[in-house]
């Protein structure tokens, strides 16, 4: 029998072993160290919000998730960045679904309960697809020239209509004129806070077709968000890809549409995402999920008298 670990003042601590899995989501097929990394804790029962947040900060990935029982779905999922909890995010949804299947909590078709609602997820082998919530959108309250400037771009780099779109989390979707403009984007940390979602978060997703003659085809995308006084870039952003689907609907683009999106180029973490917007106006986001490793951590859970 394991001997109780001793706390700082000599008390015995009950130890809890927490199993987790590391997965990469929106990975390139056959390239394990691609996509957006995610830590999934297999059983979050007994953990309070403060401990979940501390564990997410410990792993310091863009997101860490915790699986919990649900009366409405195959599992309930809580999503944490190192700094806060999120109601919905794309790559945590697909990665968590893959772990649920591996744990026998569901099969190739399952549902996940999140703060943003019930999210249907399905799989074909290692390729996972989520169906996003119906979108809503609104115009940004910032002039085009000012928006371009805070993104490190010229006004002529912005085409069509930037929109705040919400399919689970509101994000600013900004169409650009060409992939060269996408690559030039360099948000100014001092100005970036001028764009704020309804929840008060600053974030922007820029995209452009790789071939302007191709229409719905291959696209290059980047997603920016603040951390402290810096602006960081996400390797792959499923929620923003879903919001791009909402932008597609808002702009009355032709349906059905299938877009292959490349993201993560600028942060040396290549990722591949697929967006489908059906004639039924359903928005689906797909990508490969690769399990990279498993492990556990031990935490003291309270103390007992000797």
Positions annotated as catalytic residues are 63
**Residue 162: CB atoms within 10 Å:** 24
* Terminal C-alpha separation, the chain: 17
CA dist list (Å): 198 to 79, 134, 195, 226: 19, 17, 10, 16
Q: What are phi and psi of 200, to 5 degrees?
A: 90, 15
Q: Which residues, including other chains, have CB under 8 Å from residue 106's CB and lie 6 or more apart?
A: 74, 75, 97, 100
Which of 270, 304, 19, 282 is CA-nearest to residue 129? 282
Environment class of residue 268 by beta-carbon count within 10 Å: exposed (0-12), middle (13-18) or buried (19+)? exposed
Q: Are 242 and 261 in contact (CB under 8 A)?
A: no
Closest CA to 286 of 1, 30, 12, 35: 35
Integer angstrom CA distances of residue 73 from 30, 37, 92, 121, 123: 31, 24, 16, 11, 16
Q: How far is CA 285 from CA 41, 48, 240, in A?
A: 23, 31, 10
> 159: burial class by Cβ within 10 Å (0-12, 13-18, 19+)?
middle
Tokens describing residue 254: 């032709």
């Amino acid at each position: 029998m394991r001997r109780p670990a001793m706390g700082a003042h000599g008390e015995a601590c009950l130890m809890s072993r927490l199993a987790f899995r590391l997965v990469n989501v929106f990975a390139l097929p056959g390239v394990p160290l691609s996509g957006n990394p995610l830590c999934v804790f297999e059983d979050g029962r007994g953990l309070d919000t403060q401990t979940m947040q501390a564990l997410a900060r410990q792993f310091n990935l863009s997101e860490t998730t915790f699986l919990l029982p649900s009366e409405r779905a195959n599992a309930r999922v809580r999503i944490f960045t190192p700094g806060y909890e999120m109601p919905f995010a794309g790559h945590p949804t697909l990665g968590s679904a893959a772990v649920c299947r591996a744990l026998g909590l569901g099969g190739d078709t399952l549902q996940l309960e999140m703060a943003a609602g019930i999210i249907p997820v399905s799989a074909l082998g290692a390729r996972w697809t989520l169906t996003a919530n119906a979108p809503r959108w609104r115009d940004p309250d910032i002039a085009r020239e000012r928006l371009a400037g805070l993104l490190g771009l010229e006004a002529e780099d912005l085409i069509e209509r930037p929109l705040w779109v919400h399919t689970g989390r509101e994000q600013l979707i900004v169409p650009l004129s060409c992939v060269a403009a996408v690559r030039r984007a360099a948000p100014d940390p001092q100005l970036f806070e001028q764009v704020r979602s309804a929840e008060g978060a600053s974030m922007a997703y820029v995209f452009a077709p790789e071939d302007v003659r191709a229409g719905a085809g291959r696209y290059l995308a980047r997603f920016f968000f603040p951390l402290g006084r810096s602006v960081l870039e996400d390797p792959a952003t499923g929620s923003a890809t879903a919001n791009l689907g909402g932008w597609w609907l808002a702009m009355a683009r032709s349906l059905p549409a299938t877009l292959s999106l490349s993201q993560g180029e600028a942060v040396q973490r290549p990722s591949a995402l697929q967006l489908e917007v059906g004639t039924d106006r359903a928005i689906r986001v797909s990508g490969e999920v690769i399990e990279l490793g498993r492990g556990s951590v031990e935490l003291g859970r309270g103390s007992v008298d000797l």
